[in-house]
Structure 1
Amino acid sequence: MHVIFLEDVPDKAHAGEVVKVADGYARNYLLPKGLAQVVTPEILKRVDKIKSEGDTRRIKETEAMEELAQLLDNTRINVAARVTPTGRYYGAITNNRIADELTAVLGRDIDRRIVEVIEPIREPGEHEITLRLSSDIQATIYITAENEE
């Protein structure tokens, strides 16, 4: 089935693109969520308008992500957690905890999915964390993991 995407769908298409997708994917996901429409002659006439709207939205999102990357880059935050007698944390400092700390420090909502923690932080010390804001925009922050007293 050929559909025109009304919004950007990661790893599939950008707004305004006409793409052939599986019938079930279109019927069960794209069409009910309003992400795409089945291609008809009337819709093909509106393709340019849909593309320009998608391009404008993508430019605004990119500018917002670049601004956030500049704000976040080289930010240092302290995170405290309880430590076992052997010097390791009882739990771990995960991307959820880091996103919560960044939200508290910056006063802006930070989504946990942008925080790339390869392995959860289990020991005190300084750790470098990458924030992937979009496919080509990223920022690096530094976490100082401390003992909770």
Structure 2
Amino acid sequence: MKLILTQEVSGLGAPGDIVEVKDGYGRNFLIPRGLGMRWTKGGEKQVASIRKAREVREVRDLGHAEQIKAQLEALSVKLLARSGDSGRLFGSVTVTDIVSAVKQSGGPDIDKRRIEIGTPIKTLGSHQVSIRLHPELSAKLSLEVVES
């Protein structure tokens, strides 16, 4: 099945890419979640607008990505969260929480789809978060979750 990706799918492609996937994966996972749409000749025209929007959001080049990486790794980000007596959070830390915490601590704007959390953050303390800035470069962010 040929699909046009509308959002980034790790391991598959970026918005505007035309990919060939198995029928079940496309029909049952990608299309219902809005990650892709069926390829048609008319859909080809939409690819140009999707790619334009991607270029605006995208980090310009590897040099720019390295500058952002240096800013992020020099930053100490504290995130306030409610927790119980044992240090376990009520809920978990989301990527939206991380984006707002980076902004509050004076960091650059980050697209929330670029943040990768290995395991859900459900405890107080120090955690490492990976941010994909460029296909060849990612930054490690130190996140300190403290009780509010």
What TM-score does the superposition give when structure 1 sets the normalisation length?
A: 0.61
Report what 1:72 is aligned to: 72
Report what 1:30 is aligned to: 44
Residues 2-25 of structure 1: CA deviation (Å, up to 9, x unaligned): xxxxxxxx837x9xxxx998xx52
Provide closer, same or farther for how the CA distance between residues 26 and 144 of structure 1 changes in structure 2, counting only shifts above 3 A.
same
Contact (CA 8 Å) 1:74, 1:139: kept in 2 or not?
no
3-state SS, counterpart of residue 73 of structure 1: helix
Contact (CA 8 Å) 2:77, 2:102: kept in 1 or not?
yes
Mark the runs of 5 or more structure 2 residues left unpaired by the alignment. Answer: 1-11, 21-37, 51-57
Whole-angstrom distance in 1 between the partners of 2:69 and 2:109? 14
After the TM superposition, which parts of structure 1 deviate over 3 Å for at least 4 consecutive aligned residues?
A: none
Report what 2:91 is aligned to: 91
Residues 61-96 of structure 1: CA deviation (Å, up to 9, x unaligned): 332222111211242211111112343111111211
Bigger Rg, structure 1 or 2: 1
Report what 2:119 is aligned to: 119
What is the root-mean-square deviation in Å for CA atoms of aligned residues? Answer: 3.4
Residues 16-51 of structure 1: CA deviation (Å, up to 9, x unaligned): xxx998xx5252533224269xxxxxxxxxxxxxxx
Paired AA for residue 27 in structure 1: K
Whole-angstrom distance in 2 between the partners of 1:137 and 1:29? 31
Between Structure 1 and Structure 2, how many residues are aligned?
Answer: 114
Report what 1:11 is aligned to: 13
Contact (CA 8 Å) 1:77, 1:102: kept in 2 or not?
yes
Report what 2:147 is aligned to: 147
Residues 83-137 of structure 1: CA deviation (Å, up to 9, x unaligned): 1234311111121111111122225321111211122211101111111112211
